[in-house]
Amino acid sequence: MISTAAPPLARRISALARTLTIGVRVCPDGRARLTPRGELVHGCADTLTATLARLPSGTGRVELDMAEVTFMDSAGLEFLDVLDAFGRTTPARVTATGWTGQPRRVLELAGLDTADPLSHPAAPPPADAPAKPAPHGPAPHAPTPLALAPSAVAVERTERLLELEQEVEQLRHALDSRPVIDQARGILMAAHACSPRQAWDILREASQRSNTKLRTVAAAVTAGAQPDGPAPAEEIRTALRTAVELTVGTGPAGPAAG
């Protein structure tokens, strides 16, 4: 029996999440051997929940071999929480062993046992404590709360993804802004007999001095050059006039300086 799920990692980064599959082999003695393969990322807990729900009702032990899990972020701790809850709400004994590579390192960073993060040996009773009679039936499973602190690996990966998204957004904005900026540079070159580089410097200087986005300054220059076009706002006109003087010196008055 194989359970497969491939939910997105998050919004626009769904392509980064690899499919998690869980192979299941039920043994005659009531053990279920689970073999997860892939990455423990967003959605892995749902895959595990669906797999556990399909196990036979008489399953007395669930053993996970994690050796084929290649990557784990903080969602992997949710995966372990599902296992923990299953062990506390059913008679089955649950173990998760065989951790290697990066997932093992995440367990270390989260302060969990790298041999089996679900194992929590009970503290020995005081020497003078009276002996308790053995309980009848299967021993209850002690609660094993798992820390949900995000791992350093998950944080680093998330930060890098956010950086990439910001870079893409900046490039997209630059492409959208380029036509109006190029037009404004052409107008400034014609009005002040300056080079393309000097025209760019004028726009940049005016943007900084007026505390206005460069694209907005360029749009004001372009609009002002049209017949009966609106003059740039006063702060932009003043900033352009100063930028022209600093860049090319006193020159022919044009739509940029107003």
Per-residue confidence band for 178, with pLDDT thresholds at 50, 70 and 90: confident
Q: What percentage of the chain exceeds 90 in pLDDT?
A: 40
Lowest mean pLDDT among 4-8, 42-46, 193-197: 4-8
Q: What percentage of the chain exceeds 70 in pLDDT?
A: 67
Mean pLDDT, the chain, whole residue set = 77
pLDDT in tens, 104-125: 888 887 778 889 998 754 444 4
Cα distance between residue 114 and residue 30, in whole Å: 26
pLDDT at 209: 92
- H or E element in which residue 121 lies: none
Q: Cβ distance 154 to 74 under 8 Å?
A: yes
Structural tokens at position 154 = 């998950």
Global pTM reads 0.44
Query: DSSP string covering 178-227, please?
Result: HHHHHHHHHHHHHHHT--HHHHHHHHHHHHHHHT--HHHHHHHHHHHTST
Please indicate whether residue 162 or residue 107 has the higher confidence score (pLDDT): 107
Q: Where are the domains of the chain?
A: 2-119+141-151, 172-248
Per-residue confidence band for 23, with pLDDT thresholds at 50, 70 and 90: very high
Structural class in CATH, domain 2-119+141-151? alpha beta
